Amino acid sequence: MGEFKVHRVRFFDYMPSGIRALAYNRDTERMAVARIDGSVEVFHSSDRFFQEKIIPGREQCGIEGLSWVGQRLFSAGLNGGITEYDLTNQKVKYTVDAYGGPIWTITGNQQGTHLAVGCEDGTVKLFEVNEDKIQFERNLDRQKSRIISLSWHPSGSKIAAGMMDMIQIFNVETGHSVHRMLADRGVGTSRSKECVVWSVVYLSDGTIISGDSVGMVKLWDDQTGTLIKSHNVTKCDVLALSISQNEDSLVAGTSEGTVVQFQFVSVVLGKDDKEWVRTRTFKNHTHDIRAVAEITTAVVSGGMDAQLVVRPLLDKIEVRSAASALRKIHFPHRKLVSCARKSGLMLFQYSGHLELWRLGESEGKATPGSSLFVKRNPEKLLHLKVKGEDHIGCSAVSPCGEWIVYSTASSLRLYRLHFDNNNVSITKISKLPKVLSSANQLCFSSDSSYLFSASTQSSVHLVSLSQSGCKFVGTLKPKSGSHQAIHLLAASEDGKWLASANSDHEVHIYNLQTRKVHCTVPVYSSAVTAMGIHPTTNCLFIMYADQQMCEYSIEQNEYTDWSRTVQRKGLHRFWLERDTPCLNVMFNPQNPSHVILHDMYMLCIIDKSLPLPDDKTQFYNQLTLKSLPEEQRKSHSHAFKISKTFKDILFVELMSDQSLVVVERPLEDVATQLPAPIKQKKFAT
């Protein structure tokens, strides 16, 4: 079908940041994840854990806790502030200082009225959650040591606080301590070390469960303040605890990288007296687990190894499907690389800087499967550091390679590049239009004459670029619908159309000549993960998080026949079972029937002229086809041509010269750059 020259790039040293906190909202089925670099992400647990929202972090942020209050998300960190996020526009809404020194934990009560934070100075501070802000209410009795962990009783009348060497139970009404329970220190040399109660969970029946640095999970009675039972889970720390909604299952994350499950079951069959029994151990992490959350059908855990692991609880799953498989999320579901297709440049987006690279050149020819001689090595042209503390949210390089733009939460910067033989000079475009203060997504038109900047209220600002500078042209606004932030933009090759997708799954298509909404693609239940406009037919090809695809003819304003055929016949089982979303849609101008897609594990070319595979067809058939003689291939091939040559793919782009750029980030390389685990389980230790 075709040969491709592939630039395999492995020098993008992207390092995912470790996971510090998890908070699950059962009503909206959203999992909020806080990372060590201060970024907060929102995953949709019932939409294949697609990463819907990313709020970039900032330096010295140090988030320690996350908490949902209703649909509002709060975080608190070592900088002493409590932050509320604007999830619609994916940015920080405001930050309130708690005046208690670094905050170790934050938790909201079930009633949604109050937030409690545990501070370094030994106070538990209560904040009232108002309509638009939070208001400090009062302190509970101040303790001598820092408050590490907090848990509200479901009634909201009591709070359990984990501290150094002890657990305190506070009456919220009076603010006084009701009980003080001492956690035992370890034996031997660790006797002199304080026992840190890393996590507490307050159950509605009055049981308090704690996880501590001695490796114990302990159960306490809040009436008497006595220890009921203790389980030795590990030799090192139990860092995180999470209880299921109906309080019959508890998971504990340890610094060995294991998740231990406890279940509240009756020990004798048919008897009613139940006990907490240790049941299962999951080992999916190499490093400390800093946060766990038990959602309805799975245990979600995250830690220093920066991967979010969704481990399904098979006893709670009725139908086994792709959605119930073990899922490990390593990379963000966003493009971190953009390519200047016409000039062979790549822009790598790191959290604090950008790197611009020129691709290498090859010489001669080679047989498929082999490497070409590299005549010129790839070259790093630019290292652009971000001003200020905010991390980069999005960035883009123009197709011609002359413009670079990036945006943080607070600012947007546009640069113009000058290539003078081998010298690269860069000029910052000053006096940007005021509307370009910040962007959720950035995109250039294919002739590099326009910059599209996705802004608040699902609007897209249109800026024309010229030698002299840039000029604000207008704003594209959807007629109605949601105001969620746009996370994807796609411009047509002829400069006529622009498509935008927001996190409410809405895809609007704008006519750039009239600057009006041309049409809206019918909203599908799953999130849009990638889209692209075909250069010749002007059909919008959309990939969804549940691996469905559709092709929408912009001019006809309807799904294409091929798209309807796909919907009617359904996709192959193996295609639907893939567990990473497609992140880019490309078209081969030489062969209009081809659509190129990629996810983390594969590169796929869909040949729309070929028959679709049904469930009886061999789906991954490249090896079979390779072994067949040419004349027989035709009869055996189907529309999906999948190459598994590459692994851990971050980004794929088809350049103007028909060569593919595949940016890989091997997970082994990531693993080697992670800090050493604090405690590693070795055989027989």
Partner 1 sequence: MATLYEGYTLCGVGPVQNSSNIGILGVEQGRDIDYVLVTDSSRSITGYKVSDQKPTGSWSVKQGQIISCPAVFNTQSQEYVVVTDDRVVRVWKEDDVNLEKGFKATVSADVLRVLAVTDSEPVVLFCCGAVRFLDSLLASPQQPIEDVLTEDEIIRWSSIIKADHQLVVLFSTEQRGEHCLYVQRFNPNTLVKHRFETEPGLSAPISFSATCRGSNIHLLYLYSNGSLYESVLPFRTSSTGVGVQALSCSLCLSLPLGEEKLMSGAAVVLDEAHVAVVGFPHPSAGACKDYLCIWNTHFQTLQASKEMAGRIYSQLWCYSGKLYVPHGKMLSVIPFDCQKSSLAAAMGKQKQTSPSGSKSNSFVTSWTCNDITQTTEIKSRMSTRNNVKSALTVDQLIEHVKTSAVEDVQAEVGEFIRRTSQADLQLAAGRVALELVSRSQKDGNFYPQCAFLQLMETRYLCYSVCPGLLSLAIVKKDFHLCQIAFQIFSDIPEAVTCAYLKTILSTPDLEMEAVNLDKDSVIFMKELTQAHSRSDEEGGQLNGFCAPALESDASDTPSNKLQRDPLSLDMSCPVGLHKGALLNEVLHTAYSDRSLLPHLKDLTVPQVIVFLQYLRFLYFKYSHDAHKQIRALRTPSISQIIDWVCLLLDSHFTVLAVAPEAKRLVFDLHKFVRSQVKLYAELGKIEGSLQVLKNSKQSEDFGMYAIQVIELF
* Tokens encoding 358: 């020129």
* Region from 105-113, 298-306, 361-369, 492-500 binding partner 1, contact rule CB under 8 A: 361-369
* Region from 26-34, 139-147, 367-375, 554-562 binding partner 1, contact rule CB under 8 A: 367-375
481 counts as binding partner 1 under rule CB under 8 A: no
535 counts as binding partner 1 under rule CB under 8 A: no
Count other C-beta atoms under 10 Å from residue 376's C-beta. Answer: 11
Site residue total, partner 1 (CB under 8 A): 34
| Shortest reach from residue 670's CB to partner 1, in Å | 14
Minimum CB distance to partner 1 smaller for 370 or for 673: 370
- Long-range Cβ pairs for the range 546-554 (8 Å, 24+): 546/47, 546/48, 546/576, 547/48, 547/322, 547/571, 547/575, 547/576, 547/578, 547/581, 547/582, 548/524, 549/582, 549/606, 550/521, 550/524, 552/507, 552/521, 554/492, 554/497, 554/509, 554/518, 554/519
* Region from 1-9, 313-321, 438-446, 535-543 binding partner 1, contact rule CB under 8 A: 1-9
Binding mask of the shown chain, residues 439 to 458, with x at each position contacting partner 1 by CB under 8 A: --------------------
622 counts as binding partner 1 under rule CB under 8 A: yes
Minimum CB distance to partner 1 smaller for 524 or for 619: 619
Residue linked to tokens 């010269």:
657
Count other C-beta atoms under 10 Å from residue 69's C-beta. Answer: 22
Site for partner 1 in 4-43 (CB under 8 A): 4-11
592 counts as binding partner 1 under rule CB under 8 A: no
| Shortest reach from residue 640's CB to partner 1, in Å | 10
Question: What is the biggest distance separating any 2 CA atoms in the chain, rounded to whole angstroms?
Answer: 85
| Shortest reach from residue 372's CB to partner 1, in Å | 5
In 3D, which of 609, 583, 580 has the Cα closest to residue 594?
609
**Beta-strand pair 19-25/30-35:** antiparallel
625 counts as binding partner 1 under rule CB under 8 A: yes
Minimum CB distance to partner 1 smaller for 370 or for 672: 370
| Shortest reach from residue 332's CB to partner 1, in Å | 22
Instruction: Tell me how far apart the alpha carbons of residues 85 and 672 are, in angstroms, rounded to a whole number.
Output: 33
277 counts as binding partner 1 under rule CB under 8 A: no
671 counts as binding partner 1 under rule CB under 8 A: no
Count other C-beta atoms under 10 Å from residue 94's C-beta. Answer: 13
3-class SS at 630?
helix
Binding mask of the shown chain, residues 633 to 662, with x at each position contacting partner 1 by CB under 8 A: x---x---x-x-x-------------x---
Residue linked to tokens 């002829």:
494
673 counts as binding partner 1 under rule CB under 8 A: no
Instruction: Tell me how far apart the alpha carbons of residues 555 and 160 are, in angstroms, rounded to a whole number.
Output: 61
* Half-sphere exposure for 198 (CA within 13 Å, toward CB): 26
Kindly give, in sequence order, each residue whose CB lies less than 8 Å from that of residue 164, ignoring residues fewer than 6 positions away: 145, 146, 148, 194, 195, 196, 197
| Shortest reach from residue 486's CB to partner 1, in Å | 33
Cα distances from 397 to residues 188, 411, 486, 653, in angstroms, run: 59, 17, 19, 13
Binding mask of the shown chain, residues 378 to 407, with x at each position contacting partner 1 by CB under 8 A: x-----------------------------
Instruction: Tell me how far apart the alpha carbons of residues 104 and 116 are, in angstroms, rounded to a whole number.
Output: 11
**Beta-strand pair 497-502/507-511:** antiparallel
* Region from 154-162, 336-344, 359-367, 392-400 binding partner 1, contact rule CB under 8 A: 359-367
Site for partner 1 in 184-243 (CB under 8 A): none
548 counts as binding partner 1 under rule CB under 8 A: no
Provide Rg for the chain, Cα atoms.
27
| Shortest reach from residue 1's CB to partner 1, in Å | 5
**Contact at 8 Å (CB) between 19 and 290?**
yes
* Region from 241-249, 358-366, 412-420, 566-574 binding partner 1, contact rule CB under 8 A: 358-366
| Shortest reach from residue 647's CB to partner 1, in Å | 10
629 counts as binding partner 1 under rule CB under 8 A: no
Among 1, 182, 277, 326, binds partner 1 (CB under 8 A): 1
* Region from 243-251, 373-381, 510-518, 542-550 binding partner 1, contact rule CB under 8 A: 373-381
Minimum CB distance to partner 1 smaller for 270 or for 369: 369
The terminus-to-terminus CA distance of the chain in angstroms comes to 55
User: Where along the sequence are the contacts to partner 1 (CB under 8 A)?
Assistant: 1-11, 360-362, 366-372, 374, 377-378, 605, 622, 625-626, 633, 637, 641, 643, 645, 659
